[in-house]
Chain A
Amino acid sequence: MDPNDGDDDEEEFGLSRNYFLAKETGSGSGRKSARKLSDIALVDEQVLRAAVPEIVPKHEKEIASLVKSYKDLYSKWLFELRCGFGLLMYGFGSKKILLEDFASSALTDFGVVVINGYLPSVNIKQVVITVAEVLWDQLKAKCKGFTGSKPKIQHPSISQSTEDLLSFLGGQLPNENDCFVCVVIHNIDGPALRDSESQQYLARIACCSHVRMIASIDHVNAALLWDKKMVHTQFNWCWYHVPTFAPYKAEGVFLPLILASGGNAQTTKTALVILQSLTPNAQSVFKILAEYQLANEKEEGMPVNTLYTKCRERFLVSSQVTLNSHLTEFKDHELVKTRRHSDGQDCLYIPLASEALEKLLQELV
């Protein structure tokens, strides 16, 4: 009946064979080349960071025309959204611009809320409130007597529970089939949303009658985030393969550069986890250092003495010994590093990019 029978088996067989082949060659070549990163003349981390934004983009024209070619699909996408399906975009390349362009050119009739899933953390309850507010405005604008006729529905606010908000989003309103808010999620498989609780919430948002989801994934195993209930009854995805080959500019900000600090650099997330386990005083010491680094981006770091003075002023430490114990903790976790200042004294710096550092400070509050 099915001509592909043989192919499937072949494919499966090929996959396992490939794996073992790779294992074999891996151990072989691993023995041959045990070269260290230090064998390459690595440039200084700051130079490297400065060089990243300066990379000359390749194939700009081709990428632009590739992305433009997807414009023809916009009407299809809209049709499917209106039929109650969600859109899931995958394929190599950042789909951020594509999705936002789709939203701002084809979805003008609907409110659009964008979630940046590539960030280290996203508060889903806040998202639900915002979506509910947008929907509320939309409904109010659509039928003027809306608030009067439905006294039960209050204006969505932070005091309402997520359940209430979700039941508002999922409520049935007569004659309002085509009234919905679109939620665009960049990287629904991103670090902020990768845990199962977030996915459960997103799934519940997605199956609300007044919400449609448009999401992108980049990870090859993203589909493993969902169980059958989520896939078949909640998200209701319609998949689209839309490779763009556009650089992952926003998405990559929080990931470490592999050639910087030996490849195991801090990420905002790991730094945050460590900091949150420390005492408030230690956190404040770190904050002083971070603020200094942000204010003096050009400098190589903060002299230890300056840090000590500042910390004393704010009653964070009482002696050099206490400060040193904090610093040792930081250094052990690679939150802080030292380097020699041009005038000869040791100074401290945090091995994170400015954006990541800002983000970290926001999260730490």
Chain B
Amino acid sequence: MLPSPISDPPTSSAAAASDDVDNNLQPFFVLHKALPRKSERKSSGCGRARRKIDLPPSSPKSIEKSDVSSPEEANDRIYEQLRLQAFNRTWSKIDSTIKDVLRQINLNLFDEVQRWVLESFSNIKSIRPHKVSEIQRPYPLVTDTICRKIPTALIFTKNAEFVDDLLTFQELGGHLKSSGCHVAYLSSLDFSVKHGISGCLRSLLRQLVSEAPDMADIYILASWYCEPENYDNPILLIIDDMERCCGAVLAEFITMLSEWVIKIPIIFIMGVATTFDAPRRLLLSDAQQHLHPSKFTLGSPCEKMNALVESVLVKSCSGFSIGHKVAAFLRNYFLRHDGTITSFVRALKLACIKHFEMEPLSFLGLDIPDEDCEIFQHGQCDSLPDSLRNHAFNLPSCQREKNLKGTGGSLIHGLTELRTLQKGWSSAVMCLFEVGKQKNMQLLDIFCEAIDPTLYNLRASDHNLQLSSLTGRSLIEGKSGFAKGGFIAQAIQQVRELPAASLSHLLNIWVVHIEEMNEIQDRVRELQSIISSGGGGPVLKEKCTDIHKRSISLSAGKGTLSVNDKAAMLLEGMVRKFLMPIECVPFHEIVCFKHVDVLQSALIGDPRRTIQVDLLKSPTYLQCRCCSRRGNVLSSSMHDTSIIYSLAQEYGDIINLPDWYQSFKATVSAGTKTKRKLQHSPASKKVKATPSESEATIQARFCRAVTELQITGLIRMPSKRRPDFVQRVAFGL
């Protein structure tokens, strides 16, 4: 480690200080370059970490690390490296799953667009001259205006948040590229007034022409397109946020390209967040008539979200999952804070990073999904150093289980158990969701309820209660320990109300979800056969039009259960048996991230509130003896900026400077007086304010404090009109 200014004061201070001042005034400077020796050492560290199993921690002496002081530290470093690798592998798995899912959702649309592109291209081809030599002349071809229309796909994103669709358009581009088209992306930034039409042209050339000279000239594009390898494929221009472009520049660009469209077959693909008339609002009619629009529509964010939750959180195969509180936070973050898939994924990634950063054993989670890695895990668990092993058995979830032995074996057993439980759990959740879909439930809501440990415990205790006074009735009527109005309870109720056709359809889907659970599968088959034999009972004929009446008919039926009720009971049974939240399983901390506060603070900084709190409660951070004992009372020993900000709270939206200064002065000098009285007490040495602190110093302190407030943006400086007042900006936290 290099000497750092924080831990030890610089030794050659004079030179360092002048250096500092120089650097402070430089717009930028290179602090240091990478040290090659260290990076080599690090890369060898990587190699070692990969062979982690060969390295029994009992022989740490074999680690030749000159600058590592203790074997523990060396070990720490190795395991940190392991966790980093585990994160990278885990996240790349999750990331590719997410991308696959989103691509899958859009695949139909992509194919549709592709067909349209080919069609449009063949239209252009049909009207252009067939002689290649004619096409290759470096000027636009003269045709009548009707043909000078650029085919334009308007893709409606159904989402005002364009961030979510950036990826979609990337994927679309990739999809079309694979079918041989030339693809270039332009964004609203390219269509700025400042750079004008040359900005977008330059960006276009940069993407298509490999050795493009740095000038904006359509002839370069024309001659590039004439080359045999580029010829005979359309050029697609993707503008993902069309409405954010500068209308005038876009119009000019369109007009220019329309001159060339026969020669250079350009096809636009534009993302539109609002409505069909967006081009009309943005462009002049002159440019509009050069477009030949077609409509396409993307899937809605909710659809994407359900698919994403299903593949990433429910059918998790990554060795990383989240606890109930984190899930609830993410759900609220999605619904209230931002509403974009992108931010949800980012939050998930941050949670993943924090998990691998905070949980020392997190790297073990990576191998849980693989069935046949137990032998590998054996090696890994046995070679754990004592500190980590102790950590594993001191996890709160293990403390609850009394009969766990502190061996590597039971750790593996625990991890395997975790995997099995997870499978049953996700099947149950999916079955619930299949029902919930009919009521427009979101998977995320069901997920949040399904991983709530308190609800689970409630269910369990309630079930015991019911068992002791076993009555079929309460089970049938859904009076069980499910949260009132909760999504799970609603889903179970929904099963009771399904018409026959939907029920049999539902059962067919269930069979897919419970593939590996033989017992349940048998019971579903049984139900299916009842339905197919037509013995559905009276309820099926009713088509759930009158629930109230039916419940009476049920009670009249005296225990004869309809198929719907049987299905509902089956689902309820599954919920009881399999819907065990991950937080109730021993060792879950290894794969499950629960620190919602950490995630929240890293994800949503709240500078507006926090900086004010910093200022108003400075003693709690500084923990000095001089100010903190007085609670919130202002004292002269407090940080100057804290003092004036606390004083500022007493004013309205504008602060009279002289008043403010006077009260600052009063506060500061009140302290000096008391200090003079307490001169002999040792505590008063702390702040060496001389008794006769000059007016100049107090004014200087005031000025600096105001400047610091100005830096934080909490006040606005005096205007010419009101030179004696500053303006407050923040009111309340």
Contact = CB atoms under 8 A, between A and B. Distances in A.
Given A263-B718, A263-B723, A68 B31 contact: no
Contacts of B34: 108-111, 134, 137-138, 141
Contacts of A100: 5, 31
Interface string B614-626: 1100100111100
Contacts of A88: 605
Contacts of B24: 96, 116, 250, 253
18 contacts: A22-B651, A30-B656, A39-B658, A40-B661, A54-B697, A66-B622, A76-B357, A79-B353, A109-B35, A116-B27, A238-B353, A240-B602, A241-B605, A243-B611, A245-B639, A252-B711, A258-B706, A258-B717
B652 A25 contact: yes
Given A134-B30, A163-B206, A47 B723 contact: no
B232 to A, nearest CB: 27
Given A22-B728, A26-B654, A114 B699 contact: no
A104 B608 contact: no
A258 B602 contact: no
A23 B728 CA distance: 10
B39 A109 contact: yes
A233 B342 contact: yes
Given A27-B652, A252-B704, A116 B26 contact: yes
Given A35-B724, A104-B31, A40 B707 contact: no
B722 to A, nearest CB: 9
A43 interface: yes
B31 A114 contact: yes
B350 interface: yes
Nearest to B29: A114
B696 A141 contact: no
B25 A255 contact: no
A30 to B, nearest CB: 6
B328 A241 contact: no
A92 interface: yes
A122 B6 contact: no
A320 to B, nearest CB: 30
10 A-B pairs with the lowest CB-CB distances in the bound complex, closest first:
A26-B652, A239-B605, A18-B732, A51-B700, A92-B614, A25-B652, A219-B713, A26-B653, A18-B731, A257-B703
A40 B662 contact: yes
Interface string B114-150: 0000000000000000000000000000000000000
Interface string B701-713: 1111011101111
The range of chain B's interface size is 35 or more
A220 B189 contact: no
B619 to A, nearest CB: 9
A51 B710 contact: no
Nearest to B605: A239
B659 interface: yes
Given A43-B699, A92-B611, A111-B32, A15 B688 contact: no
Interface of A: 1-2, 14-15, 17-19, 21-30, 33-37, 39-43, 47-48, 50-52, 54-56, 58-59, 62-64, 66-68, 71, 75-76, 79-80, 82-83, 85, 88, 90-93, 96-98, 100-101, 103-105, 108-116, 119, 121-123, 126-127, 130, 134, 137-138, 141-142, 161, 163, 177-178, 184, 192, 200, 217-223, 228-229, 231-233, 236-241, 243, 245, 247-248, 250-253, 255-260, 262-264, 355, 358-359
B2 interface: yes
Interface in B624-682: 624, 637-641, 651-654, 656-659, 661-662
B31 A112 contact: yes
B20 to A, nearest CB: 9
A2 B332 CA distance: 8
A220 B612 contact: yes
Given A43-B699, A111-B32, A52 B704 contact: yes
A104 B32 contact: yes
A4 to B, nearest CB: 8
A134 B622 CA distance: 38
A255 B712 CA distance: 12
Given A35-B659, A42-B699, 18 more contacts: A15-B732, A37-B657, A43-B696, A58-B640, A59-B639, A79-B356, A90-B605, A105-B1, A108-B32, A108-B34, A116-B26, A222-B607, A238-B603, A239-B603, A243-B611, A251-B711, A263-B717, A264-B717
Nearest to A3: B328
A55 B623 contact: no
| Main SS at interface, chain B | helix
Contacts of A256: 707, 717
Nearest to B719: A264
A67 B27 CA distance: 25
Interface stretch (B47-55, B161-169, B307-315): B161-169
A258 to B, nearest CB: 5
A111 B189 CA distance: 30
A93 B615 CA distance: 10
B4 A161 contact: no
A51 B611 CA distance: 27
A111 B203 CA distance: 30
Contacts of A137: 33-34
B657 A263 contact: yes
A21 to B, nearest CB: 8
Given A228-B343, A229-B163, A236-B346, A264 B723 contact: yes
A24 B611 CA distance: 25
Interface in B57-93: 80, 84, 87-88, 91
Given A37-B723, A55-B697, A233 B730 contact: no
Contacts of A58: 637-640, 687
A93 B607 CA distance: 13
